[in-house]
Amino acid sequence: MTSVSNGSPQRYSALAMALHWLLAAALLGTFCLGLYMADLPFSPQRLKYYSWHKWAGMSILILSVLRLLWRITHRPPELPAAIEQAMPAWQRVAHHGTHHLLYLLFFAVPLIGWAYSSAAGFPVVLFGVLPLPDLVGPDKALAELIKPWHEIAAWALAGLAALHVAAAFKHQLIDRDGLINRMLPGRG
C-alpha cells in the first residue's frame, strides 16, 4: 500500500491487483463457459468443456486461497475518509457486505461444483493429470440435490460481481472520486 502523491486514495499492492484481475478474468471466463456448455448435447466436445470448467473452478479455488491469505496478511487500504463520510449508511453496509459475500462465493461455487461432480461419479482430474479426492461418495440422489446449488451460487456470484463493477463505475463516472484508481495498475 503506497500513497499516491497527488492526494488520491492509497493503492492496493501490485500482487493484490494481479490477484484481483486474474480472479476476475477467471470467474468471467468460467461463468461464460458454464453457460455455453450446459445446453450442449452430449458429445466429446461437451465432455472436454466440462473438464476445462472443472480445471478452471479448481484454479479459481487456488487463486481464492492465495487472495484470502494475501488479504489476511496484508491489510487493504482503508476507504478514504471523505469518500466513506459521503456514503450513506446503506452504501457502507453494501460495500462491506458485497466484499464479504464475494469472498464467500469465491470458495462456495467451486466447492459445490466439486461436491456435485463427486456425487455424480465424475472425478475431478486437474489439468487431466492430477486426480483430486472426491468430496463426497458417488450418490445420484445427492448429486441431484447439489446440482442446482452450484448454479444458484454461480449466478449469485455473477450478480455480486456485476454490482461490484457497477459501484466502481459509479465512483468513476458519477462521483469522480478516483476510487477505482486504487485497483488499476499503472495509475500511481
Is the pLDDT score of 6 beyond 50? no
For the chain, the structural domain boundaries read 14-183
89-119 and 140-169 helices, crossing angle to 10°: 150
Is the pLDDT score of 111 beyond 90? yes
Q: Model pTM greater than 0.85?
A: yes
Question: For domain 14-183, is the CATH number 1.20.950?
Answer: yes
Q: What is the pLDDT of residue 9?
A: 53
pLDDT digits (tens, 9 = 90+) for 52-103: 999 999 999 999 999 999 999 999 898 888 888 888 999 989 999 999 999 9
Q: What is the pLDDT of residue 187?
A: 59
